[in-house]
Structure 1
Amino acid sequence: MRTLLLSKADELYLEKCAQEHRFSYGIIIGHQADLSKTFVVHLARNNEEDADLEDLTEVGLTISDISSQALASQWLSASKMCPGSFDVIGIFVASTTDQSSEIKTAKKLFSDVYDILLKSNKSLGIYTTDVAQSDYVFLSYSLANKQVLCKSYTYGNGGTFSNMEYKFVEKPFEWIQLECMYDLEDILPIVNTARRINIEDQFQNIILAFRKNILVSEVFLQNEIVEDTIDLQTYIKKRKSKEEKLKAASSNATTPSSEASEALHLLNSQGFLGGSEIIRASILLPVKCQLAKPTDIKVREFNGTLRTSGIITTRIFCSPRNSIADAKRFLRDDILRSLTTRIQVYCDGLTDPYATSEAIFISEPPRRVFFSLPSEGPSTSGGVTVQFSEYLFRGEAPTVVVAQAKQILDVELDPEAIGMDAEGLPDDVPIQTSQDQADDTRSMASSMPKPELSRSLYMVGIAVALLVLLTSVALHYMLTDK
């Protein structure tokens, strides 16, 4: 049976929600440590309640009064802010009365929310490299008797509830941080023959193509291929043991060998010395021709190309219980989720989703910024601080992140504490639009004038020289006649 692990701060947050609002509901953000244990990372009360409901708090609201649309909107927005190792795993209700009799209503609420998410998101599984989630958590807290009801919900055939254990843990959860800087560089053909091309459809093709490639990618940890079956805790112990042996060999030898010194320097540069547990990762995509069968390689015509270029910063947080395979999957999920979110945010702001096939269309999606949950918030972590992310366009201020965090995650942020330097702004590089330059050199700036312009200046110079010569001859004859 699965067990839901909550911190004492989570219990205080549920109590606070029930005391201040009499009836509150929101989302549960969690992390799957292993098959039997799920950590609650954050609880976020929904702040989109209707004003009419706020006025009726004295009446005694129930689960049937919850807006499935507001809950689904918060669910989807929070999913975009979570790192790849975290997900929205369920719904909580906090009230002054006992809500355990509303199980049937809660079951319908889950079904309605899931249906809305499927409709608003063409494919709920597009955020992940794995199958879409179908098991969720329902948590109900009653202030009257300080009782907690925890159920596991499974979608399908009307939905079913099953018993689920829960436990409040005194000790803060331990997290291991993994980071990766993924360099995105790809060119896709535009096979649409229409003159006006839908930009959103083309961006969707980018996501689908990238998801297909990243599923077969290879993930390196600290520049090494690591066995998938071991867990992160074992991996870190092995790395530290290797570090200690190299240190001992280096200190005992009067003249350390070049191999030992080089290995020790490599461990130091990778961040494992000094107690740091930030694991650096890198992802290598296979060459496309290696993925295709000989029969899949074809020569065909297309009307244009779609080029993607940039760097995606990945920062995830795992439990020591997670296997290496889990960590690799979380890294892939985070990159895919970040790319999808940027494209969705960008497309939501388009005034015209179409572009002509003759035009060179330049898009600048938002960049990723990171922020930590306040220590006095619903959940805290030990050692490594858990971070979420938001996306800002060029020129947007950190106050946008502050407002989003309050609205979606129900946390108060300091604008000064938001990490804005994880991804730098792209350079403004002019693109030549000459039809004669169809290769990659058109994306490079050139200080040379165009050939047509050079010939024009040359002819003007000749014309001016002839004019000066004729004027001189005419003046010469005029003066000699006099």
Structure 2
Amino acid sequence: MRTVLLSKSDELYLEKCAQENQFSYGIIVGHQADLTKSVVVHLARNNEEDGDVEDLADVRLSISDINSQALASQWLSASKMCPGSFDVIGIFVSSVRSDVVNEQSPEFKNAKKLFSDIYDLLLKSSSSFGVYTTDIAQTDFVFLSYSLADKKVLCKNYSYGNGGTFSNMEHRFVDKPFEWIQLECSYDLDDVLPILDSSRRVNIEDQFQNVIVSVRKNLLASEVFLQNELVEDTIDLQAYIKKKKTKVDKLKPTSTSGASTSAVSNATDSLPQLASDGAIGGGDPIRASIVLPVKCQLSKPTDIKVREFNGTLRMSGIIATKVFCSPRNSIADVKRFLRDDVLRSLITRIQVYCDGLTDPYVTNEALYISEPPRRVFFSLPSEGTSSSTGAVVQFSEYLFRGEAPTVVVAQAKQILDVELDPETISVEAEGLPDDSNAGNDRTDDSRIMPSSMPKPELSRSLYMVGIAVALLVLLASVALHYVLSEG
């Protein structure tokens, strides 16, 4: 049976939601620790201005009053902010009434319909940019309801399909802090793709879709190295850390001061564990590398041909990746989380960029330069997340050039229900691109489109202004020469 682990701070948050609003609802961000255990990372009530729930202080409100569109919007937005090792795993309801924890009440029928509506909305919203991760689609979710009247929690597993079904699920509030191990990776994007569209005006969003498909294909064929070595998929992260730490301890000279270094504790039967030395190097992140095969190895020999195209698309840059894992995660899980984080970050910034386009088309004669937003990281305040030790869990947001960290503060409040200090937001993980070499390869008649507001007519206007100025200078020179000659 599947088990959901929550911290005492989660219980306090559910109580707070019911006390402040009488009726609250929101999303559950979680982590799959192993095949049967999920760890709740964060609970975030919905702060959307919901037209259907005009007064959350109304005790009579029930699950049927929840706006599925508002909840699905929060779900999608939070998914973009989560690292690759975390996902939105379900929804919670917190109420002063006791019927939300009564399986025989009409609330459970309403909850099934709510899940079904949200799932359909999620499918429609994600279809425009294809497969979101490198793993199979999620079909099982968590429904968590809390009654302030009974001080009781009910937890159910919801399975999509056949109208939706609820099944039993265990839940436990634990006193021990969760332990997180951080892994980091810098993924280099440097590839050239052909533009197969032969029309004069090319759709930018379609070309970005091709980028996503290409990167996903490469990631699935890639190999992930930890600390510059290939690690067997079947062992868990805790065993790997213990093995590496043992090697490091053997290489250390014997100290005469009597100091000793403790290895990571052996696995226990329960989760979460007490924090140990965590990652290699006394809590430092584990560095990972995603190594891609030679490109021609991904194709059959018969697929390699010399062709001509009307244009090419070059993608270049660095995707900063951070994931947070349980010591009991297998190395195979860790590698999948890293790949998912790269792909999720790429898709998110492309979606954000395309949402701001006024015209998705550009002529194929132009040299078009796009600058999607860069990734910034922030930690959840201690009062806004489950208690934990080891690495501090971080989420991410995306900023365009010129945008201030206050944008992240507003997003975190609305989507994750947390208060952030702008000074604590890390904006250095991904640097801004250098504009000085942006157009080195262009010809005299090519046009560079600005990244944030693509306007082909702007370049044409500037070009005509240049010609007009040159003609004025020429006429002035002729006139001056004529005057001097007459004199």
Same fold (TM over 0.5): yes
Deviation at 1:49, TM superposition (A): 4.0
Shift of the 85–123 alpha-carbon distance from structure 1 to 2, 3 Å rule, reads farther
**Corresponding position of 1:116:** 121
Report the count of equivalent residues.
Answer: 421
Deviation at 1:120, TM superposition (A): 1.1
Shift of the 173–301 alpha-carbon distance from structure 1 to 2, 3 Å rule, reads same
CA contact 2:21–2:56 (8 Å) conserved in 1: no
Cα offsets for 1:47-78 (capped at 9, x unmatched): 01425623363351000000000000000000
Q: Which runs of 5+ in 2 are unaligned?
A: 257-278, 447-480
Q: Percent identity?
A: 76
**Corresponding position of 2:161:** 156
How does 1:396-475 map onto structure 2 within 5 Å? 396-428=403-435, 429-432=437-440, 434-435=442-443
Given residue 39 of structure 2, which amino acid in structure 1 is its aligned partner? F
Given residue 60 of structure 1, which amino acid in structure 2 is its aligned partner? R
Shift of the 49–140 alpha-carbon distance from structure 1 to 2, 3 Å rule, reads farther
**Corresponding position of 1:463:** none
- Distance in 2, matches of 1:173 and 1:41, equals 9
2:141 matches 1:136: yes
- Is the partner of 2:384 in helix, strand or coil? coil
Deviation at 1:157, TM superposition (A): 1.6
CA contact 2:283–2:391 (8 Å) conserved in 1: no
Deviation at 1:239, TM superposition (A): 0.5
- Distance in 1, matches of 2:85 and 2:56, equals 38
Deviation at 1:433, TM superposition (A): 5.7
**Corresponding position of 1:230:** 235
* Greater mean alpha carbon deviation, residues 284-293 or residues 57-66: 57-66
**Corresponding position of 1:333:** 340
**Corresponding position of 2:259:** none
**Corresponding position of 1:86:** 86
CA contact 1:30–1:38 (8 Å) conserved in 2: yes
Given residue 362 of structure 2, which amino acid in structure 1 is its aligned partner? A
- Distance in 2, matches of 1:136 and 1:236, equals 31
- Distance in 1, matches of 2:299 and 2:343, equals 22
Cα offsets for 1:415-456 (capped at 9, x unmatched): 000001111111112314655999xxxxxxxxxxxxxxxxxx
> 1:272 aligned to 280, 291, 298, which one?
280
Shift of the 126–36 alpha-carbon distance from structure 1 to 2, 3 Å rule, reads same
Shift of the 52–192 alpha-carbon distance from structure 1 to 2, 3 Å rule, reads closer
Deviation at 1:155, TM superposition (A): 0.8
Given residue 35 of structure 2, which amino acid in structure 1 is its aligned partner? L
- Is the partner of 1:106 in helix, strand or coil? helix
* Greater mean alpha carbon deviation, residues 143-152 or residues 54-63: 54-63
- Is the partner of 1:162 in helix, strand or coil? strand
Cα offsets for 1:374-430 (capped at 9, x unmatched): 011142311211000000000000000000000000000000000011111111123
- Distance in 2, matches of 1:64 and 1:182, equals 44
- Distance in 2, matches of 1:33 and 1:351, equals 43
Deviation at 1:121, TM superposition (A): 1.1
CA contact 1:117–1:124 (8 Å) conserved in 2: no
- Distance in 2, matches of 1:46 and 1:197, equals 39
- Is the partner of 2:426 in helix, strand or coil? coil
Q: Name the TM-score, length of structure 1 as normaliser.
A: 0.84
- Distance in 1, matches of 2:111 and 2:129, equals 21
Shift of the 241–433 alpha-carbon distance from structure 1 to 2, 3 Å rule, reads closer
**Corresponding position of 1:10:** 10
CA contact 1:13–1:378 (8 Å) conserved in 2: no
Cα offsets for 1:341-379 (capped at 9, x unmatched): 010000000111100111111000100000000011142
**Corresponding position of 2:22:** 22
- Distance in 2, matches of 1:379 and 1:433, equals 51
Cα offsets for 1:204-245 (capped at 9, x unmatched): 110011101100101000000001111010000001100111
- Distance in 1, matches of 2:329 and 2:56, equals 45
Higher-Rg structure is 1
- Distance in 2, matches of 1:437 and 1:242, equals 61
* Greater mean alpha carbon deviation, residues 379-388 or residues 319-328: 379-388
**Corresponding position of 1:196:** 201
> 2:226 aligned to 215, 221, 224, which one?
221
**Corresponding position of 2:62:** 62
Given residue 398 of structure 1, which amino acid in structure 2 is its aligned partner? P
- Distance in 2, matches of 1:245 and 1:123, equals 53
**Corresponding position of 1:267:** none
CA contact 2:52–2:65 (8 Å) conserved in 1: no
- Is the partner of 2:109 in helix, strand or coil? helix
Given residue 218 of structure 2, which amino acid in structure 1 is its aligned partner? N
- Is the partner of 1:40 in helix, strand or coil? strand
- Is the partner of 1:166 in helix, strand or coil? strand
- Is the partner of 1:53 in helix, strand or coil? coil
CA contact 1:124–1:132 (8 Å) conserved in 2: no
- Distance in 2, matches of 1:318 and 1:276, equals 13
- Distance in 2, matches of 1:362 and 1:331, equals 28
The Cα RMSD (Å) is 2.0
- Distance in 2, matches of 1:125 and 1:92, equals 28
* Greater mean alpha carbon deviation, residues 152-161 or residues 48-57: 48-57
**Corresponding position of 1:321:** 328
Given residue 199 of structure 2, which amino acid in structure 1 is its aligned partner? A
> 1:304 aligned to 297, 311, 321, which one?
311
CA contact 2:59–2:96 (8 Å) conserved in 1: no
Given residue 156 of structure 1, which amino acid in structure 2 is its aligned partner? G
Given residue 365 of structure 2, which amino acid in structure 1 is its aligned partner? E
- Is the partner of 1:312 in helix, strand or coil? strand
CA contact 1:125–1:131 (8 Å) conserved in 2: no
Task: Give the structure with the higher percent helix.
Answer: 1
Q: Which runs of 5+ in 1 are unaligned?
A: 253-270, 439-466, 472-482
CA contact 1:221–1:279 (8 Å) conserved in 2: yes
2:250 matches 1:245: yes
- Distance in 1, matches of 2:174 and 2:129, equals 32
Shift of the 189–14 alpha-carbon distance from structure 1 to 2, 3 Å rule, reads same
CA contact 2:219–2:339 (8 Å) conserved in 1: yes
- Is the partner of 1:122 in helix, strand or coil? helix
- Is the partner of 1:289 in helix, strand or coil? helix
- Distance in 1, matches of 2:190 and 2:137, equals 27
CA contact 1:18–1:96 (8 Å) conserved in 2: yes
- Distance in 1, matches of 2:343 and 2:150, equals 44
- Is the partner of 1:137 in helix, strand or coil? strand
- Distance in 1, matches of 2:52 and 2:324, equals 39
- Distance in 1, matches of 2:141 and 2:196, equals 40
